[in-house]
Structure 1
Amino acid sequence: MENEYQRLDAKFAQSLVDIVAAELNKNVNILDDRGVIIASFSRDRIGQVHEAGARMLKAEMIKEFYVSEEDELHLRGIRNGFNVPIMFENKCVGVIGVTGDLKTAEPYARLAARFVEANLQSNARQEKLVGALKEKEELQSIFLNKIIRVQEEERKKISRELHDETSQSLTSIIVGLRILAEQVQNSGEREKILQMRDLALTTLEAVHDMAVQLRPVLLDDLGLVAAAQKYIANYSKQYKILMNIEFNILSRERFATEVEIALYRILQEALTNIVKHAGATQVWVSLYKKQNKLILIINDNGVGFNLDLFKSTHSRTSLGIYGMGERVSLVDGTFEIKSEIGQGTKIFVEIPL
């Protein structure tokens, strides 16, 4: 199938015709690869067949040719003038003709043909560059998607192991230490055993937190809303930040796995950035559906930052925000961040369902 850039652009052809015709005060025609006039200084000729050009193209004997005044008498739709094939990648894609005597018409026809060929070559290079860039972006997206999927599966596996195996083993140790402490008569030894039990309890809490950070069981079992509510509750308790949430209307509605994971990770990253960099005392989180789209908004009253400066840096924060944007793009969503110094930060995510 012929690529679009291999065809003559009628609009460009007409512009060239007008320029050359105005310079020469002669008529100029450009034919397509069938000999049909697609551009002419005489507008009424557009759409007509140039018989001499059509014959040459059909015979596949591609060459320059001159139409004499005598030829005009027995050939339809032509006028006296010099005609030059327009070549692209060893193929004739059209013909340009300039009316008038040979001496005047020949150099202008050749120059115009070379100009059209140069335009076609430029379009082809641009098309190839655009195609290569698009292919690169598609491959990058596929590669990134695979990395994220593998990463999430590994997180899920480790989280399950921590929750089901490590946590249960630690719980058994804690229970065993408590029973042992009750059986020991020596108060000093009992105190040591209770200290070991407290250390095991602290370790169990750390393991539980690690499992939640990796992949909360609630996210897989009950969905995004339940997991987000639990995460926000723990976050507020740990960092003493007032959280205002609004997504109860969604109840326990489930969404595609990749969408739930993307939004949960964005919420996680955003709240982590707030506690590390924003110095906020309040955060507002909204999650709702609107016209078959799922929308997440995270807003804080923190110190804010300079967006222009942010875009030119490569800090840990910028990488985190870049990662949020990449996650959104993988589910065909839109990601927007607004911030001003002293005015807090707002993150807007919209994902089609």
Structure 2
Amino acid sequence: MNNTYGRMDAAFAQSLVDIVAAELNKNVNILDDKGVIIASFSRERIGQVHESGAKMLGAGVVKEFYVTKEEECSLKGMRQGYNVPIMFENRCIGVIGITGDQKTAGPYARLAARFVEANVQSNAQQEKLVGALHEKEELRSVFLNKIIMVQEEERKRISRELHDETSQSLTSIIVGLRMLAEQVEDSKDKEKILKIRDLAVTTLEAVHHIAVELRPVLLDDLGLVAAAKKYIENYAKQYEISLHVDFSNLSRERFSPEVEITLYRILQEALTNIVKHAQATEVSVSLNKRQDKLMLMVQDNGVGFDTKMAESTHSRTCLGIYGMGERVALVEGNLTITSVIGQGTKLFVEIPLEEINNLDIVD
């Protein structure tokens, strides 16, 4: 059957005709809902109008009918035989006819009609299920996108508050403690105040780190390239890993917010996984644009892992990989992860770009 809901496919109809005709040694025809022959053991009849069938279908009275010997002689292109309507959801979608006398041809015509109806019904149900599945996937993508957007907006809000309010308050405390320490003459009291000041400085650094992890200001203000470079710079300082970075063909170019946050989060997740699991000493990161595609590659020389086994488990790493795949799918991109145990891992992301989403900053 074809994918047209509730209609017969000519190829299927012809295969059924050939089987029935060979079994009965009779001519078999299948008509569409207009009375046109779409399948016949006599190939030359395909495309012709079956006058009796067309008349019955046109009258709107659906019923079985028999072409007699006399009608065969008087009607053009007709042959003696029994014809049975093919029904689908209370409407006639065609007719199947088998040549011969009424007693012999009738049961076979009814059986063949029921077979066609069952096949049409089966395919219609399959099409409904496929359609429902597509709708479910579309809704899932919409909801997932909404969830990610809400999460990112909340991250942005908290990050801004930490940066603008909490950080400023801590800075004021640090300055105040420093001034207080200068006014105190007792050395022990001064030492206590300076220790509190140092604790406030450490807290300020931790708050700044949390704010950047939640949502770097650079990402919103200057874009993906600036934010990614800064993240990699801090990453290299924090961990003893040799980093090779290639951001060729990109300077201050901007992309859609969805693409930028997607690639930034994937870079974040990939580099975090390397620290936690890979035991790598060298990491390569490249971000390039070629024609209408933006590509991110993160590769390490770590211990690697079995990708097939990872897919069947529910470890934190696998959830991270799953999350990356979900994010990439939402921007219609592709994510590929290849890994060999003892030889490292390579993550490659490719995202299509639209002209309208590219924003070039003019100096």
Output the TM-score relative to the length of structure 1. Answer: 0.98
Distance of 1:77 and 1:53 partners within structure 2: 12
| 1:19-52 deviation digits (Å, cap 9, x = unpaired) | 0111112111100000000011111111000000
Structure 1 moving runs of 4+ over 4 Å: none
Alignment-derived partner of residue 201 in structure 1: 201
Per the alignment, in what secondary structure is the counterpart of residue 160 of structure 1?
helix
DSSP-derived class of the 2:117 partner: helix
Question: C-alpha distance in 2, partners of 1:224/1:272?
Answer: 18
SS of aligned partner of 1:6:
coil
Partners of 2:207 and 2:248 lie apart in 1 by 29
Per-residue CA shift, 1:129-169, capped at 9, x if unaligned? 11111111111111111000001000000000101111111
Distance in 1 between residues matched to 2:118 and 2:293, nearest whole Å:
47
* Equivalent-residue separation in structure 2 for 1:339 and 1:166 (angstroms): 42
- Corresponding residue of 1:124: 124
> Counterpart of 2:335 in structure 1: which amino acid?
F
Question: Given residue 330 of structure 1, which amino acid in structure 2 is its aligned partner?
Answer: L
* Stretches of structure 1 lacking an aligned partner (at least 5 in a row): none
Q: For the Cα contact (< 8 Å) 2:249–2:289, is it kept in 1?
A: no
Partner Cα separation in structure 1 for residue 292 and residue 198 of structure 2: 50
Give yes or no for the alignment of 1:143 onto 2:143: yes
Where does 1:309-348 land on structure 2 (aligned, <5 Å)? 309-348=309-348
Task: Report what 2:79 is aligned to.
Answer: 79
**Which residues of 2 match residues 1-353 of structure 1 at below 5 A?**
4-353=4-353
C-alpha separation in 2, matches of 1:347 and 1:101: 71
CA RMSD between the two structures? 1.0
Match of 1:299, as an amino acid?
Q
Gaps of 5+ in 2: 354-363
1:39-87: CA deviation from partner (whole Å, max 9, x where unpaired): 1111111100000000000001111111111101221222111100000
Of residues 271-280 and 176-185 in structure 1, the stretch that sits farther from structure 2 once superposed is 176-185
Alignment partner of 1:16: what SS?
A: helix
Task: Give a deviation string over 1:275-294, Cα, whole Å, max 9, x none.
Answer: 11111111111111112011
2:30 touches 2:97 (CA, 8 Å); kept in 1?
A: yes
Shift of 1:248: 4.1
Work out the CA distance in 2 between the residues paired with 1:256 and 1:128: 35
Q: For 1:164 and 1:248, how far apart are their aligned partners in 2?
A: 33
Q: CA deviation at 1:176?
A: 1.2
Deviation digits for residues 234-271 of structure 1, max 9, x if unmatched? Answer: 11111111111111430110000110000000000111
Residue 194 of structure 1: how far off its partner (Å): 0.8
SS at match of 1:249: coil
Query: How many Å separate the matches in 1 of 2:78 and 2:267?
Result: 71
- In 2, Cα distance between the equivalents of 1:334 and 1:77? 58
Q: Percent identity?
A: 76
Aligned mates of 2:273, 2:214 — CA distance in 1:
17
Q: Which amino acid aligns with 1:276?
A: K
TM-score by length of 2: 0.95
Tell me the secondary structure at the aligned position of residue 327 of structure 1.
helix
For 1:146 and 1:245, the matched residues in 2 are separated by 32
2:300 partner amino acid: D
